[in-house]
A and B are shown apart, each in its own frame.
Chain A
């Protein structure tokens, strides 16, 4: 054993140039191989065909380089040209053929766990690659040196180890790049989608035709009998629409402003539904100037009105409050309407609340629906 190691170290010392040379070649070759392989992935679908083609192309390019060097060398040293050239060409083609055999063998041996996420897989792949490299190198040099174990055995494990490490390194880098690219793509895609969605939401709030027509019909209906109410309704409606037209195109608003808008909305609905609709709005002092997404609460209040008046017609009471909950802002819309059924289908309003928060407070919010102790939609935002 000790003797073996001594021979190995000795041989290493003698051939340190060779090792550096092989290391660099393997690095360039394998990087180029994986680079080309990913570039061609979309064009050549069959993995095994693609790998062989890429391997062949690279081997061909390398052969040009290799033979140019060789001819240069031979030109200087006259005499043994034919012999040496023959030997090298033979060696090179043995290498090409054995590389193809090796690559395909490696592919066949490893494709079964190509996508396994088990821990030992990279290690097994590494060992398989190592063994194949080792055998390939012995095989390649056999025509030149014969099976001279003293020359082959100590040197090649190191080289095989190097090449196998480079292989794993290249794969790792590619995997990482793909992962980063994909995450990035996904994020931009998601962001775009949400942005459009939020813009749509604002638009939706601007032109909810149903609400507008009903309110205007109320104004027309009241005009001849109740001047005061008519005026109040017209003023509230203008206020509401001024807020929703949102000249500054801002996505955020103060809590105070949003609550005022909700109140305006409820005033309009109260003219329509009269005593059936009652509400209370409360903000814990000090929270008025906090920024929240524009039209965050309005859809929830609209839902409470819409669904709260369903079923047996009883008086609907809506309670909206904002308070501090530790470091978080807690907003809640409660009503005494029918409870949420277990498998209710979330509508546009609730969805838009999620979308706005996703866009403006990503990962910093929580929305939950409760039936007990009171029916409510509650929003927690980290501030």
Chain B
């Protein structure tokens, strides 16, 4: 009576694949394991070749994540996600797949997934992979960048954003000046730096970007310009450019 399924397990860790295998043991007559893959590329090959009905898919794999893998498939199998991600992140994924399983996988929870699979059968809801990929990327990009790598000869060192007082370009070179007066040469130009630095950095002149938090005093100057005094070691004085006045005024709330 029960429909039979062919299945593939995708996970980069062998013990994790063993886990699913073990759990599938009692569904032998219903689910036939036809292959395993240990990374995204292998998974694509096997799924394209063997066309399984069902895939147990780990979301985090080293070469590509589970969603990227799915988006490259021509054949769309049913998917049960397995992941160590916390639950809050996964409500969105559940709506778009048969089910998701949290690692370590509970047996009861696994059985429940299989029942859900039987109930839904092959009535495959179209997976909105793009949406899931978006959600996943949002979760990933929480990483907060707070330092800038700087090359000195062969080595790379990190300079904290909060340590940078201002950036100055002169003669085709861009220098970063720290609060303590140190100078580092950056291989980025001011335009690129402006994109890279957080919002508290402000372009105030053709050749200067300053750290807003380092401004200690502001004076009016003629021709719609301002004189900014920074509180770095040298009490640097910077005259702003006429064409930047509007951005500066909005940024500083003047």
User: Chain A residues in contact with chain B, CB under 8 A?
Assistant: 115-117, 182, 209-210, 213-214, 216-222, 224-225, 229, 271-274, 309-313, 340, 342-348, 350-351, 354, 366-372, 378
Contact = CB atoms under 8 A, between A and B. Distances in A.
Contact of A217 (B19, B147, B217, B235): B19
Contacts of B147: 346, 351, 354
B17 interface: yes
A368 B156 contact: yes
Contact of A115 (B13, B15, B16, B217): B217
Given A214-B84, A346-B147, A351-B146, A225 B18 contact: yes
Nearest to B143: A347
CB-based closest 9 A-B pairs: A221-B19, A218-B15, A213-B84, A217-B103, A221-B15, A368-B155, A217-B104, A369-B156, A309-B62
Interface of B: 12-20, 22, 38-39, 62-63, 84-86, 102-105, 143, 145-147, 149, 151-152, 154-158, 160, 187-188, 196, 217, 219, 229, 231, 234-235, 237
Contacts of A117: 234-235, 237
A267 to B, nearest CB: 13
Given A221-B22, A274-B14, A368-B157, A213 B103 contact: yes
Contacts of B84: 209-210, 213-214, 217
Contacts of A222: 15, 18
Contacts of A311: 62-63
Kindly name the residue among A217, A271, A309, A351 whose own CB sees the greatest number of chain B CB atoms within 10 A. A217
B15 A271 contact: yes
A344 B157 contact: no
B143 A343 contact: no
28 contacts: A115-B219, A210-B85, A213-B103, A216-B103, A216-B104, A217-B15, A218-B13, A219-B104, A220-B104, A229-B15, A272-B13, A310-B63, A313-B38, A313-B39, A313-B63, A340-B149, A342-B187, A345-B143, A346-B147, A346-B149, A348-B143, A351-B146, A351-B158, A368-B156, A368-B157, A369-B149, A371-B154, A371-B156
A328 to B, nearest CB: 15
A271 B14 CA distance: 9
Contact of A221 (B16, B143, B151, B219): B16
A340 B156 contact: yes
A346 B13 contact: no
A214 B11 CA distance: 11
Contacts of A182: 231
B113 to A, nearest CB: 16
Of listed B12, B86, B231, residue having the most chain A CB within 10 A: B12
A248 to B, nearest CB: 30
B15 A272 contact: yes
A273 B156 contact: no
B46 to A, nearest CB: 15
A290 to B, nearest CB: 23
Given A213-B102, A342-B149, 16 more contacts: A214-B16, A216-B103, A217-B105, A218-B19, A219-B104, A221-B14, A221-B15, A222-B15, A346-B149, A347-B143, A354-B147, A354-B158, A367-B157, A368-B152, A369-B155, A371-B156
Contact of B229 (A115, A209, A367): A115
Contacts of A225: 18, 22
Given A210-B84, A218-B13, A343-B149, A224 B22 contact: yes
B54 to A, nearest CB: 19
B145 A346 contact: yes
Contact of A273 (B12, B18, B20, B86): B12
Nearest to B160: A354
A220 B19 contact: yes
Nearest to B144: A348
A91 B38 CA distance: 98
Nearest to B179: A186
Contacts of B15: 217-219, 221-222, 229, 271-272
Given A221-B16, A342-B187, A370 B62 contact: no
A214 B103 contact: yes
A105 to B, nearest CB: 20
A131 B155 CA distance: 58
Contacts of A344: 149
A166 to B, nearest CB: 25
A360 to B, nearest CB: 17
Contacts of B63: 310-313
A366 B234 CA distance: 24
B17 A221 contact: yes
Given A348-B143, A372-B154, A214 B85 contact: no
Contacts of A367: 157-158
Contacts of A354: 147, 158, 160
Max count, chain A CB within 10 A of own CB: residue among B16, B156, B231: B156
